[in-house]
A and B are shown apart, each in its own frame.
Chain A
Amino acid sequence: MKHFDNFSRPLEYISPMDKHLRTVIRKWADEEVIPFRRRFDEDWKEHKLIEPAFDKLMGNKGLGLQKALFPEELGGWGLGHSDNTFMISYALSEEVGRADTGMAVAFLVTLWPLTTILIEPHVNWRLAKEFAPMFCDCDRAVFSALTMTEPQGGADIENIGLLGGKTLRTTARIDGDEWVINGHKLWPTNSAGVSRLFGVPCTTKPGSNDRDDFAIIFVPTDTKGVSEGNPYEKAGMAADKNSDIWFEDVRVPSWYRAHGPGLDARTFLEIIPWGQVASCGFLTGAMLNLYERLYEFVSTRTYCNSVLKENDAVAGVIGRIAGDIDICRILGHEAARIGDRRNMPYGNELGSEETIGKIRNIKDFISDKSVEIFGRAMDVLGAYGPDRNWDIEKHWRDVKIIQLWMGGKQLCQMESARYFFDCKTL
């Protein structure tokens, strides 16, 4: 194979712009991230190395990607009304993920809560106008976060299909023309002081599983009553900061709610496919980089006077690794196509059980394969496996985190069973 770009994709669905967009992002990755990423682990708290790379990816002094979803009338690129948004997001996820999946998640999660108000047909123009200057008129990277997880509930919040927000303890009550928010969140990507804007899933009636009582309310992080803890020290993904967040009588205008009763829950369900497809992109991006590094290793290291890849036992392992990458990449693109088929007569709504079940299933499969083949690659590298100079160990730590997030394997399996076996109580 001439290049890792030759791993399979459904080429019929790839836009002519894909190659050129990838070229731009790959140049950024090769110049701004890959030469420095071995030192990112020590930069987990300060982000002195990491921030400049984010600025060049997201800010107007660089590539300006943080404004992509906003309508063109507000200074964005209008990606929110493209029928190809999932495929473009996949390409971005894969290219950034190839360099650093922690950076990939921090970047894509910035767009994540905004999908609830910027993706057709659910564009909230008033909020779009309110927040557009924050993202479109800034030279530096600006982040946002979707604050889902709570101490008592874990991934219950994402399991809205079954629980309908029943376990949410972050509350919002209306007081005049303001929402008053109280609660405690854990783990959001881009917390610990990174973000300027939070999308906060909460309940207007604690204990209710009525979807009308589920709310997504936007909260600028400098609002009085918002406080954040220090970043957690994790196994990897140093470019993504996570912390506790507390909301104590936080007041925001009533129109900062994403949409209103019913539609908030629906757009929250639609968030799930975005997160899972992006996760697939992060994983296959890391796998492409695994292939690059492994190819070099097995082509230069020798055993019995022959390069490793010509040894039967090694060839059996690396052949299977490459084959799994090939299959995962096809599946990842299919997940993106499932999302982009939402406007097609033969497609399904983003929040449907079929869309969520199938995409979660693909993410679960790719996650498992990814963890498995990085483990096998470590075996092939032997004592070089844990050596940072080969970059495999970094991805090895990071892909495990991707496998665990958004409800981990368990919620993926439940959503999958719910669709494929018509389960009623899961």
Chain B
Amino acid sequence: MNANQNRGVIDTTNRMLAYLLNKPAFKENLRIVLKNIDPESSPELVKTLLWQDIEVSLGLLGALPDVANSLIRAIDEVLVQINDKFTPELLAGFIGSLLDEIDAVRLQHIIQNLQPLVRDISPLLKDFLQQIHNQITPDGGQP
């Protein structure tokens, strides 16, 4: 393969990672970071986010409808603009060309490979969900 091919963002990331993962110092630092993930601290993080300044957290929460409505109106406007300015034939051709760029073979490959995985882990998931269900009392609290 020509060495100058595929010099895009992913290829650059790949080459950077390959370089870094070949360096013992980088891997040691990564290991230290990974070993220091402390799940028990996450509730504290949430509490800080929520209560350090209640106005900020509730403000963010209160803005959710506006964020959602903004997205809804944006999508609606995109559709209005597209339908208004571009003819169906142009849109069909352009979107068809975009879809042609999607790697359908790989997508199908993923779905095929996912099926046995889902089949294998579904009993485990079922047991896990059953265990959670058994621990919940009829009034909704812990037994």
Contact = CB atoms under 8 A, between A and B. Distances in A.
The reply to whether chain A is a binding partner of chain B is: yes
A62 B92 CA distance: 11
Taking residues whose C-beta sits less than 8 angstroms from the other chain, chain B's interface range is 10 to 19
Interface string B13-28: 0000000000000000
Nearest to A62: B89
A72 B81 CA distance: 9
A86 B10 CA distance: 30
A297 interface: no
Nearest to B85: A77
B89 A72 contact: no
B97 A20 contact: yes
B98 A63 contact: no
B38 interface: no
Interface stretch (A21-29, A168-176, A321-329, A389-397): A21-29
A407 interface: no
Interface residues of A, number: 19
B97 A63 contact: no
A63 B90 contact: yes
A64 B84 contact: no
Contact of A20 (B84, B86, B89, B98): B98
Interface in B81-131: 81, 84-87, 89-90, 93-94, 96-98, 100
B86 A64 contact: yes
A56 B90 CA distance: 10
Interface string A44-79: 000000000000100011111101000010011100
Interface string A74-108: 01110000000000000000000000000000000
Interface in A1-55: 19-21, 23-24, 27-28
Interface of B: 81, 84-87, 89-90, 93-94, 96-98, 100
Given A20-B94, A77-B86, 15 more contacts: A21-B94, A23-B97, A24-B90, A24-B97, A61-B89, A62-B87, A62-B89, A62-B90, A63-B87, A63-B93, A64-B86, A65-B90, A67-B85, A75-B84, A75-B85
Interface of A: 19-21, 23-24, 27-28, 56, 60-65, 67, 72, 75-77
14 contacts: A20-B94, A20-B97, A24-B97, A56-B89, A62-B89, A62-B90, A63-B87, A63-B89, A64-B86, A64-B87, A64-B89, A64-B90, A72-B85, A77-B86
